[in-house]
Amino acid sequence: MLSVFRHSISLLLGLGCCLAAAAELPAGVKAFSFDTPRAFGYVIGDLIRHEVRVETDAGQGIEAASLPKEGWINRWLMLRRVEVRGEGKRRILTLEYQTFYAPLEVKNLTIPGFELRLAGSGQRLAVPDWTFTTAPIREPSVLRAEGLPPVRPDAVPAPLPVSGPAAASAGFGLAALGALVWWAYLSAWLPFGMRGRYFAEACRELRGLRGQGDGQEALRIGFSCLHQAFNRTLGEPLFIEGLDEFFRAHPAYDPLRNEIRDFFQTSYEVFFGEGAPVPRFGLMRVEALARSCQLAERRRP
């Protein structure tokens, strides 16, 4: 009871100081108030919100350098938020503190005051200290004496849902793996994809001839690569005389009939012709035909 009386006296003295300060406002300051919440009943971790209101004739702002800085004020008090907003000629400063003091008994604590400076004039306004009481969070002896239940433990935080993101990640991973396997199959990189992927293999070999020009030796190597693909597809050597039978047995290649026939005709000139080969069917065209045959190879049963 005595402590409550003393605390009431301290509050009245603080209120008297505020009123005295209000009566001695600097010139141009119409109103100044310091609004605080209750001064009792706080425990560790509680937030405490203060508001300072300043109204001037000219609507002056508050110098940013005079505002308290966010962060630790001392070992048990942190200033979490500092915010200034305007309402006409009034400036409202909002301060949000958090207490981390863990007392063993009810204790008085003080949030230190500070000085504000008005922009332009440099006039100073003192924000006073503010005292409050904090209480311990522990099992008091009275509970044990009366047989009352002890203080309940903190609630266990609910686990974050992870099934959705995990399922999505697994789905994306499987899709990426499937696309990689399909690409490797089409490119004849896999052992089980080698069968019937002869033109894919020819495309890889022809890519290695890029940049060598259409010299006699390079052309012979390139034409040989594509001839081998046709021979392996038919199961025996394929000559120009057997193209009609080849297209009947493998209709997927029939749309390329004219290009394939030109290839075989030029092949005779490359391997058995005299002098420089005819440049109308160079390595670039051979590689393009190999890619077209590779697409047809994928479509065939």
pLDDT at 148: 59
pTM: 0.42
Residue 69 token pair: 């800085």
Closest listed residue to residue 269, CA positions, set 283, 260, 280 = 280
Minimum mean pLDDT among 98-102, 139-143, 166-170, 285-289: which range?
139-143
Closest listed residue to residue 254, CA positions, set 242, 246, 262 = 246
pLDDT at 167: 81
Q: What is the DSSP letter of 32?
A: E
Read off the pLDDT of each residue in 136-165 and give the average, rounded to a whole number.
Answer: 70
pLDDT at 146: 59
Read off the pLDDT of each residue in 211-223 and give the average, rounded to a whole number.
Answer: 84
pLDDT at 15: 42
Is residue 2 very low, low, confident or very high in pLDDT (cuts 50, 70, 90)? very low
- Regarding predicted confidence, which is higher, 25 or 187? 25
CA–CA separation, 131 and 109 (whole Å): 6
Is residue 277 very low, low, confident or very high in pLDDT (cuts 50, 70, 90)? low
Q: What percent of the chain has pLDDT over 90?
A: 39
Does residue 6 surpass a pLDDT of 60?
no
pLDDT at 34: 93
Mean pLDDT of the chain: 81
Is residue 197 very low, low, confident or very high in pLDDT (cuts 50, 70, 90)? confident
Is residue 145 very low, low, confident or very high in pLDDT (cuts 50, 70, 90)? low
Does residue 289 surpass a pLDDT of 70?
yes
Does residue 219 surpass a pLDDT of 70?
yes
What tens digit of pLDDT does each residue of 25-36 get?
A: 887 788 999 999
Where are any strands of DSSP class E within the chain? Answer: 29-35, 47-56, 71-72, 77-87, 90-99, 107-111, 114-117, 124-127, 130-134
Does residue 51 surpass a pLDDT of 50?
yes
The neighbouring-strand residues paired with 83 are: 94
pLDDT at 160: 81
pLDDT at 144: 56
Read off the pLDDT of each residue in 138-153 and give the average, rounded to a whole number.
Answer: 60
Dihedral sign, CA of 174, 175, 179, 180? negative
Does residue 3 surpass a pLDDT of 90?
no
Does residue 240 surpass a pLDDT of 70?
yes
Contact criterion met (CB below 8 Å) for 173 and 247: no
CA–CA separation, 287 and 285 (whole Å): 5
Q: What percent of the chain has pLDDT over 70?
A: 80
Does residue 132 surpass a pLDDT of 70?
yes
- Regarding predicted confidence, which is higher, 180 or 258? 258
pLDDT at 216: 82
CA–CA separation, 249 and 239 (whole Å): 15
pLDDT at 181: 72
Is residue 20 very low, low, confident or very high in pLDDT (cuts 50, 70, 90)? very low
